[in-house]
Structure 1
Amino acid sequence: MAELGDVAFVERWFRERLGDIDPEATDVRIAAAERLSRGVSRETWSVTATVLVHGTWAPQQFVVRRDHASGSIIPTSLQTEYDVYRFLRDSAIPTSKALWFEDNHDWCPDSRPAYVRTHVAGDWKLPFISSTDEAHDEMRIAASKEHLDKLALVHTADWKSLGFADIFAVPDSPADCAANLVRANVAQLERFQFEPNPILSEGVSRLLQSAPRDCPQITLCKGTNGHGEEVWSGGRIVAMSDWELAALGDPAYDFAQIQEMIPEIERGGRRLWGLPEALSYYYDRTGIEVTVERIDFYRALYGLLQFLYTHHAAAQVRDQDHPPLRFVWNAAEIGFHSEVRLAGLFGAAPGKVRSSQ
């Protein structure tokens, strides 16, 4: 069997796809193919190579993404994840470059489809971002602004011409953004839901009732974003990664999922930075108003997103004799937390996140 950890096979595979790596390349050598530990929903592998172009060998690194042997925890298909990178390849949004999607059985490692993209050098971790030391204030604010600048690129991209209407549910109008996202996730859930859930049913009903209608425009949204999700180098984001929850809708959806990148900083009773300042900075760059009320709604909606992927994991656990522990953990413990979030929408879980109704 052709295994992804088999360097000799990977070298033959990459030679077969040499034109996708570089139309000017004439050969490739593979030094290593190693699985990375980060990430839960799918497998990520790093491939170290040298590529021969115009008689010169140059080092190059690639990323291979594929589902686990038991499937994927997230219900977003591998093809859709690849398509996002493919559509963004020539845009102003910094991302890894999609090279090819492998579904030819003769070349699928371990008989599983996979896709290959370029590796972007950098680091996902900003050691100073959660610091309370005053000496780090300027760095934290600068990083927050850099992240907002890149979100602005995402939200002002021409999603129609880039092709995103072909893979994502399109709202009928800006006012329909919130309700459309709820409907799209419920429709996706219907593909694999194996049992009824009263908490989900009531939670979805409350979300539709309280869905805000004051979104100013439909934008491409990244989904999970912020610290740990992007590649940084020299104080700049050089690649935006993890597009598994991407959608077309309200940019407030992204603000609800920002991880640590809008720190609240106050010194001597004076506010230096926080959500109001960040929203003002973002508006100056996009002309798009994002309200706290809409952000609160999408924070509440995360219970539905969480239920979606935990139930997807549960469906696979149910159908397998020996499911992986990570699938069982997501189906059981994280699944419970998704129900707690949803219950908070109608007052059944005091102290938990509620909608902005």
Structure 2
Amino acid sequence: MVKQQKWQWQEPGRAWKGAGLYHITLTIPDRQPLLGTLDIPEGDPTKTVVRRTPLGNSLVNCLLDIPNHHPEVQVLHFCLMPDHLHAVLYVRRTMPTGIKGMVRGFWQGVKKLGRASSVSPNDIRSNHQEGLENRNRQEGTLGLREATLGLEAFAEGLKGQMSDEAYYNLPSVFTEMPFIRPMGRKTQLPNTIRYIDMNPQRLATKRLKPGFFRVQQGIVIGERSYDGVGNTTLLIAGRFMPVHVRSIWVKAAEHGDSQALREYKNGCVLSARKGVVMVSPFISADEKQVMQVLLNEQHFFILLADNGFRDYFKPSDALFDACAAGRVLILSPWPYNVEKRKISREECVALNEMAEEICHQLERDRD
């Protein structure tokens, strides 16, 4: 059993070739729902299932077939969505070509499925019927209709039925190689599996409550413009308060005097319980603790993000649930930067100043 095996985690310098865990994501770039349809029984997101299309079913079969070609690889977990596939692969030992080579081979295989799914059987029947009948008689392969029912078999025979130029001109659907992320901490496995398993429910929630997850641009507060996701009606709430834990309190707590720090954090929570909307980037560990209490007790707050919103953005974990319930608004003063990894000190200072600026401006607008 897999659970009884000793996991091998990525070590520095061993990523891509060594044993370990890898999170693979394959996406249809234009986000067409070609792999499945979302079914939300009784309008309940927790009951959501994805009904696979023939292409989606064949894609899963191709994924599960990987260990037959690479015995050192185990498909540990996966989730098929209407427009993308998530999978966690466990590589037991060092691979000769590395995980990238293996995933590239998988990608080439699914591109055949994508080309086959884009072909109309009637077009093939009219243009290639004679050659297909001869091929079937000689090799005993499936007829056109039967081959179409099994997309994998149909894909295998498609190239032989068409000229190379016509075949490679077919849309492949999967035009981008899967994204590969090595997993280097033990907590990443359960977190990644939970994230993958929640994908259908979160997509259903976004469809049922699109207003809270649509990126809204040009939200003007004072003289500054923000992009936002969440409940914008929080901007007309009665009272606002910034959450900014000062370094002097933290340093004092490190030397045994934690009273000021404790009183400030408790004061933030008590204010939230009275209906005050808390505003902060929640950067430091102590500020994150305050935000966690706000989430646990289901209070309203505005979160300032250090990066903008990519296409199809969705908050993660508890923040997603709070967004769906209309308890949070996420604002960003900056556009999305795909290369951004860490927040700078200058950005921290700027965001904290913006939090205070937002509170003062909204209080002024209320009066």
Q: What is the TM-score of this pair, normalised by structure 2? A: 0.28
Structure of higher CA gyration radius: 2
Q: Larger helix proportion, structure 1 or 2?
A: 2
